[in-house]
Structure 1
Amino acid sequence: MNYNMEKFKNITVALNTPFKESGEVDLEKTRELVNYLYNKGIKSLYVCGSTGEGFLLDNEERKSVVEAVCEEVKDKMTIIVHVGCASTKHSCELAKHAGECGAHATSAVPSVYYRLGEESVYTHWSEITKASDLPFFIYNIPQLTGFNLSDGLLRKMCENEKVKGVKCSSDPAHDIGRYKAIGGDDFLVFNGPDEQYLAGRMMGADAGIGGTYAGMPELYLKLEDLIRRNEYDKAKKLQAIMLDYVYRMCSFGSLYGCVKSLIKLDGLDIGIPRLPFLPVSSEDDKLVQLHKDIKNTIEETKCW
């Protein structure tokens, strides 16, 4: 199958899922959030993944989010839908739905909770690819799933013409180089760990998908611009600043709560995370200072 893979080579925001005070998914705020990011220059979204609290949503909620996003963006943005579930049946249901909604790709972690062998994971992912005609990106995040994508399994998965890349969220940057070497030039690898975006791109990542991107999208866009212009001294300087911001976001004990409150300070209230994730107050002095620092860096780097 021939796919246009160039449209995936972007700063891809892992989209947060907005909630109402009642705890229900807020589809109107979802639409507003999509436009908020688009107006900042973001062209790609990863929907219902870890950052989107996908595993805290039931399948009907996940479908409603995908429908709202796809209806809102139309042809303006590239949409990757995470369809991973513990059940292969439910994952396939979501993959089929993503295709029907007009999404551009699907992605999935291996089946969670159960510690499955490679043959089970291979079957799980392979069945998902059969559920739609969309390209599929493996999502490797062993620190959460307990399963680490091996070279052998990747080679086997690459025999499937719909498997077009890996979202590599494992910690070692050299995993990106290994996966890229196995997949080849046309095989996409997304950098997952936000704190090493520059290192990931240097190791061969074609783009990135991250959970802190929505908290400072302008800085990730600037970092990518510097990389493409081969201005690595400036890129290293900016990555160091952003590394501090990522650590500060994580220091609140609730990354998703922190990012949602940063967005609120920027003028868009998308609610708080769903339990068991905890909220972070937008009035917290440390958060307010972080927001100010991010804004100052955005202004300082505009002329870079």
Structure 2
Amino acid sequence: MPNLIAATYAPLQSNGTLQLNGIEYYTKYLTHNRIKGVFVNGSTGDFVSLSIQERKELLTAWHQNKPNGFQIINHVGHTSLPLAQELAAHSIGKADAISALAPYYYPITNNNLLIQYCKSIAEAAPELPFYYYHIPVLSKIQIDIVAFMKRAKTEIPNFAGLKFTENNLMGFTHCLHNSTDNQNIMFGVDEMFLPSLGSGAHSWVGSTYNQIAPLYQAIANSFTVGQHQKAASLQQKAIRFVEILVAYGSFLGVAKGLLDYLGLPLGPSRFPHTNLTTNVYSKIMRTLENEGIAPYLGNLP
């Protein structure tokens, strides 16, 4: 069974404020669909639209509802280094690990600065494993990621690996090759799940594991038993899932709303993400059924 970690949404009430009571059922839903853990307060969770207090409250709620053996990784990155350190320190005793992407407004231009930034955050929670969140499409940070890893292994004592969210299998493979036994390179491009299996991936973080975890589990099972053509066909369904939802607006907003429509009460998305009506989701569901994707949607507990 693949080690799928869901990048979680922030449950909201209709007025846009946090709905922390929804975390309990959200956790049951994910574990029911054999998800192994959560990546909280990341891009999927709209961390840029949340206050520091809201990010803290979300982590606390996930911790309070954590089942045995369930992993919580908390994203603590921020354009303000002191606030990132504050979020890291708050994660102690609540998260199993922390992660941070690089500041994205005034971009970091070299590995010296990135090491300094990551080390400062990791030192704020020295007992927690630290993962660098590599997502250049959003952070706009273009650095030699392998060179960064080599330095991080020696300069950041609790460096645990990467969340590698880049459509670059060659770079991902280089990172795997340069990792040690106690480090983990988590792959984060859902549309490239099958190719990542062939590259040696053994852990994944993704937003669509919220909706179609059974599909990725079927892909992994087919790949494992050598049914490569079937695995490729199933991977195409995962790609089409994203394409179908993107046609209706911002993917994260549409995808979150689909879960709410299906019975997982996550509420609306914050601006500028898309919020659709029930009639539109009925149309989306008909498309998912016609393309054979609907049977792979997650099941409610």
Pick from 116, 127, 140 the counterpart of residue 134 of structure 2.
140
SS in 2 for 1:137: strand
In 2, Cα distance between equivalents of 1:33 and 1:114 = 35
Aligned residues: 291
Q: Which has the higher contact order (CA 8 A, sep 6+)?
A: 2
SS in 2 for 1:73: coil
- Other-structure match for 2:193: 197
Q: How does 1:12-27 map to 2 (within 5 A)?
A: 12-27=5-20
After TM superposition, give the deviation of residue 154 of structure 1 in Å. 2.0
Instruction: Give unmatched runs, 5+ long, in structure 2.
Output: none
Q: In the alignment, residue 165 of structure 2 is paired with which amino acid?
A: S
Pick from 62, 68, 76 the counterpart of residue 75 of structure 1.
68
Moved more, 202-211 or 42-51: 202-211
Identity of aligned residues (%): 26
Instruction: Give unmatched runs, 5+ long, in structure 1.
Output: 1-8, 300-304
Moved more, 288-297 or 204-213: 288-297
Residues 74 and 231 of structure 1, relative CA distance in 2, 3 Å threshold: same
After TM superposition, give the deviation of residue 105 of structure 1 in Å. 0.6
Question: TM-score, length-normalised on structure 2?
Answer: 0.90
- Other-structure match for 1:5: none
In 1, Cα distance between equivalents of 2:294 and 2:115 = 44
1:114-139 CA distance string (max 9 Å, x none):
11232222111111111111111111
- Other-structure match for 1:265: 261
Judge conservation of contact 1:48–1:82 (CA < 8 Å) in 2: yes
After TM superposition, give the deviation of residue 45 of structure 1 in Å. 0.6
Question: TM-score, length-normalised on structure 1?
Answer: 0.89
1:64 is the counterpart of 2:60:
no
In 2, Cα distance between equivalents of 1:13 and 1:123 = 29
1:157 is the counterpart of 2:152:
yes
Moved more, 276-285 or 77-86: 276-285
Judge conservation of contact 1:37–1:214 (CA < 8 Å) in 2: yes
- Other-structure match for 2:294: 295
1:136-157 CA distance string (max 9 Å, x none):
1111111111103412222111
After TM superposition, give the deviation of residue 222 of structure 1 in Å. 2.4
Judge conservation of contact 2:130–2:158 (CA < 8 Å) in 1: yes
SS in 2 for 1:218: helix
Q: In the alignment, residue 30 of structure 1 is paired with which amino acid?
A: I
In 2, Cα distance between equivalents of 1:39 and 1:297 = 14
Moved more, 50-59 or 201-210: 201-210
Root mean square deviation of aligned Cα:
2.0
In 2, Cα distance between equivalents of 1:224 and 1:294 = 16
